[in-house]
């Protein structure tokens, strides 16, 4: 038997999935790590911890494979995008990874977005101006940490750093590069005008390569840690959102992929770059001939987790002999669509698409003495779905209303949430049984790199069984009344977000 390993390097964990050459899953492996945060908006990861997690999960996956009687064909990577690490002349870390969730560049991003250059940056790079962007992070570093910047010879990200550790090369796939705010989406190369704005030289950045590019000749240290042959090809792959689309077979403009894990994302794949006149959506590369248009949302399952922890009574959990989430889902099922006239805006962690405002804050609207905890729980779940719907509508504006939605992520384990999403979007929602879509997308790119397949759309043969949910007409009618009000209140509150964020900082 021959094997492939897909690796997904995420914000709080690295996952590896072992497949056979027909993309059948043979094992899942995971290692978690800390995301370091503080009240100033820091969100960082330790490079040594990430490296150990990647090497450990690959080792565990390879150990399950029978490499005495089979061959490891390739290891392919999915990774979180928009991280930055400062490296010295010997590629040693001068900082931790500054992740997409880091908001310390908020003032730099606000000034750039409000300047005439803001629209110019978006149109050339497809990256909305926001503190998540490596462009604004590096601009902030020049102001906040000038001494460390003076020592910096290179700026990398998760994947470029890992591949340098493994192979001594400094390269980055076009997909992750397109998420930096410094790559021109039309030329698929670093944009010299944007680099000047960031005060970065081209030679300080990784060389951009196709996602199907292979590296071989694994370093001795990495080989010993992973326990695999040194000539095993490593494939760069793409960023996690792009590979999630690929991994569920949503690779044309008629199919939207939605992921709701800790955060959320709405994405559609096209064969050419498309930017949004209102700058609500990103436009990133999947690989050289495919583009993904969509929006990332900060607030997904983490908001529901917050609500369950604060609104589900511990005594009720003990009495019912069940867990909090099962009890919450049961309570939500007993509340009608619209939560008895209660609307929740889920902006607990600021928001990226469609607001692109790191100071956005959450709120209940319409709360009265008649509302219960169950109403509030349903409103939270509906608010997350309606927030997703605002990005879904923006995507539909650009590429047309899709025929179906494929949804993945931890939320998909909740039957009530599956149906609610179909009702709020008024669109069929398909849930594939395989949840690790990023790893499946990565090994599909590896198959193309190895010549095992000619086109990436072969992934549709690997997805497996899919469960479909059709919109309920009665619930759709309710949400069509509530969604415009959700958007109206959002606009009314927007001018107050900066002020309340300032007051919270001072309190």
pLDDT digit string (tens) for 12-26? 899 999 999 999 999
* pLDDT score, position 349: 87
Average pLDDT over residues 28-41: 94
pLDDT above 80: residue 316 = no
* pLDDT score, position 321: 65
For the chain, the average pLDDT equals 95
Separation of alpha carbons 485 and 463, rounded Å: 37
Structure token digits, residue 273: 């770059």
Highest mean pLDDT among 166-170, 297-301, 501-505: 166-170
Confidence class of residue 300 from pLDDT cuts 50, 70 and 90?
A: very high
> pLDDT per residue over 423-441, tens digit each?
999 999 999 977 678 999 9
At residue 282's C-alpha, the angle toward residues 296 and 164, to 5°, is: 85
Structure token digits, residue 476: 């759709």
* pLDDT score, position 435: 64
pLDDT above 90: residue 491 = yes
pLDDT above 70: residue 367 = yes
Closest CA to 149 of 71, 88, 103, 219: 88
3-state secondary structure of 485: helix
* pTM assigned to the model: 0.90
Q: Is the peptide bond before 354 cis (omega within 30 degrees of 0)?
A: yes
* pLDDT score, position 437: 87
pLDDT above 90: residue 163 = yes
Task: Give me the domains of the chain, ranges plus CATH numbers.
Answer: 2-232 (3.30.420.40), 250-452+471-507 (3.30.420.40)
Separation of alpha carbons 187 and 166, rounded Å: 29
Beta strands 363-365 and 343-345, pairing class? antiparallel
* pLDDT score, position 290: 93
Other beta carbons within 10 Å of 48 = 11
Average pLDDT over residues 279-289: 93
pLDDT above 80: residue 318 = no
Confidence class of residue 89 from pLDDT cuts 50, 70 and 90?
A: very high
Other beta carbons within 10 Å of 218 = 21
At residue 487's C-alpha, the angle toward residues 484 and 492, to 5°, is: 125
* pLDDT score, position 436: 79
pLDDT above 90: residue 82 = yes
* pLDDT score, position 505: 86
* pLDDT score, position 502: 92
Confidence class of residue 357 from pLDDT cuts 50, 70 and 90?
A: very high
* pLDDT score, position 413: 83
Confidence class of residue 293 from pLDDT cuts 50, 70 and 90?
A: very high
Q: Return the percentage of the chain with pLDDT > 70, whole number.
A: 99
Any idea how long the chain is? 507
């Amino acid at each position: 038997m021959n094997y492939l390993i897909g690796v997904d390097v995420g914000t709080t964990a690295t996952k590896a999935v072992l497949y056979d050459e027909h993309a059948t899953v043979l094992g899942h492996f995971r290692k978690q790590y800390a995301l370091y945060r503080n009240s100033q908006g820091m969100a960082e990861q330790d490079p040594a911890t990430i490296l150990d997690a990647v090497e450990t999960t690959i080792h565990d996956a390879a150990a399950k494979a029978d490499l005495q009687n089979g061959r490891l064909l390739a290891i392919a990577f999915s990774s979180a995008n928009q991280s930055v690490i400062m490296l010295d002349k010997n590629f040693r870390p001068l900082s931790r990874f500054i992740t997409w969730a880091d908001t310390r560049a908020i003032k730099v991003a606000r000034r750039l977005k409000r300047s005439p250059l803001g629209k110019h940056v978006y149109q050339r790079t497809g990256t909305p101006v926001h503190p998540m962007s490596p462009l604004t992070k590096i601009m902030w570093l020049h102001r906040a940490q000038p001494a460390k910047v003076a020592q910096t010879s290179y700026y990398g990200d998760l994947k470029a750093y890992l591949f340098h550790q493994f192979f001594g090369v400094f390269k980055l796939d076009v997909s992750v590069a397109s998420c930096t705010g410094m790559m021109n989406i039309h030329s698929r190369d670093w944009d010299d005008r944007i680099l000047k704005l960031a005060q970065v030289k081209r030679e300080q950045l990784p060389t951009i390569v196709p996602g199907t590019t292979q590296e071989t000749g694994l370093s001795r240290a990495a080989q010993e840690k992973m326990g695999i042959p040194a000539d095993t090809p490593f494939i760069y792959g793409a960023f996690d959102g792009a590979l999630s689309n690929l991994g569920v077979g949503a690779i044309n403009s008629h199919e939207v992929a939605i992921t709701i894990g800790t955060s959320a994302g709405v994405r559609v794949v096209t064969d050419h770059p498309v930017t949004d006149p209102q700058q609500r959506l990103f436009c990133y590369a999947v690989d050289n001939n495919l583009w993904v248009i969509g929006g990332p949302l900060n607030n997904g399952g983490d908001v529901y987790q917050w609500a369950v922890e604060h609104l589900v009574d511990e005594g009720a959990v003990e009495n019912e002999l069940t867990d909090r989430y099962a009890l919450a889902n049961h309570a939500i099922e007993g509340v009608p669509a619209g939560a008895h006239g209660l609307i929740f805006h889920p902006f607990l962690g600021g928001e990226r698409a469609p607001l692109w405002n790191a100071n956005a804050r959450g709120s209940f609207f319409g709360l009265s003495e008649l509302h219960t905890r169950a109403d509030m729980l349903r409103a939270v779940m509906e608010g997350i779905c309606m927030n997703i719907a605002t990005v879904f509508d923006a995507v539909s504006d650009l590429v047309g209303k899709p025929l179906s939605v494929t949804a993945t992520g931890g939320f998909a384990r909740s039957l009530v949430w599956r149906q609610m999403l179909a009702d709020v979007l008024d669109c069929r929602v398909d849930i594939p049984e395989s949840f690790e879509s990023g790893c499946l997308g990565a090994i599909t790119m590896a198959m193309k790199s190895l010549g095992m397949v000619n086109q990436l759309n072969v992934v549709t043969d690997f997805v497996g069984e899919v469960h479909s949910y059709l919109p309920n007409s009665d619930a759709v009618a309710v949400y069509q009344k509530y969604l415009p009000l959700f958007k109206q209140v959002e606009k009314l509150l927007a001018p107050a977000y900066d002020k309340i964020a300032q007051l919270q900082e001072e309190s």
